[in-house]
Amino acid sequence: MKKLIVLFALFAGFTLSAQAITEEDLLGDWTLRKISLMGNLADLKTGEVQVSDEFAKEKGQTKEALAEQFKKRLPGMQGSLLFISGRRMQYQIGSKDLSIGTYVFVQEGEKQYLADEYSGTKMLVYFKDGLLYWEVLGNEGLITMAWQRAEQK
């Protein structure tokens, strides 16, 4: 029984450590693939847009009309992300260059965050279906971005 408990503890520790994102996992170029904001989802690769019922009701327009408006904005939402050795990161969305500088990993329970080393601004990060997701609170609520390695086109 004691051996079984030790084996389980080792397996659990290995499983938890295998899930942690490392600097090496992030290095390289990434392209913004999906963005979700206020319950709406845009797939920048396919051009598909899904508008939530709540958002359409709030705006007093049909989901279809709002989806068409979002589709017109998709070219300005294109984004790229670059992770460089030394925990440095730079990203660009549209024509605006945004540089975060250096980041640190922050572990809170089972969740892992990237935090700006100087400002402390942090975003939840995780991998799902081969994409790198990050979630951050913006002026209009939770923003979720899914990034795809640039070479996976």
Question: 38 near 55, Cβ under 8 Å?
Answer: yes
Question: 9 near 122, Cβ under 8 Å?
Answer: no
Domains, the chain, in order of start with CATH, read 23-149 (2.40.128)
Cα torsion at 7, 11, 17, 20 (round to 10°)?
-160
Query: What predicted TM-score, i.e. pTM, was given to this entire model?
Result: 0.79
Beta strand ranges found along 9-95 (DSSP E): 28-37, 40-43, 49-50, 79-84, 88-93
pLDDT values of the chain reduced to their tens digit, one per residue, 153 residues: 444 333 343 344 433 444 799 999 999 999 999 999 988 999 999 999 999 999 999 999 999 999 999 999 998 888 889 999 999 998 888 877 676 788 999 999 999 999 988 887 899 999 999 999 999 988 888 999 999 999 754
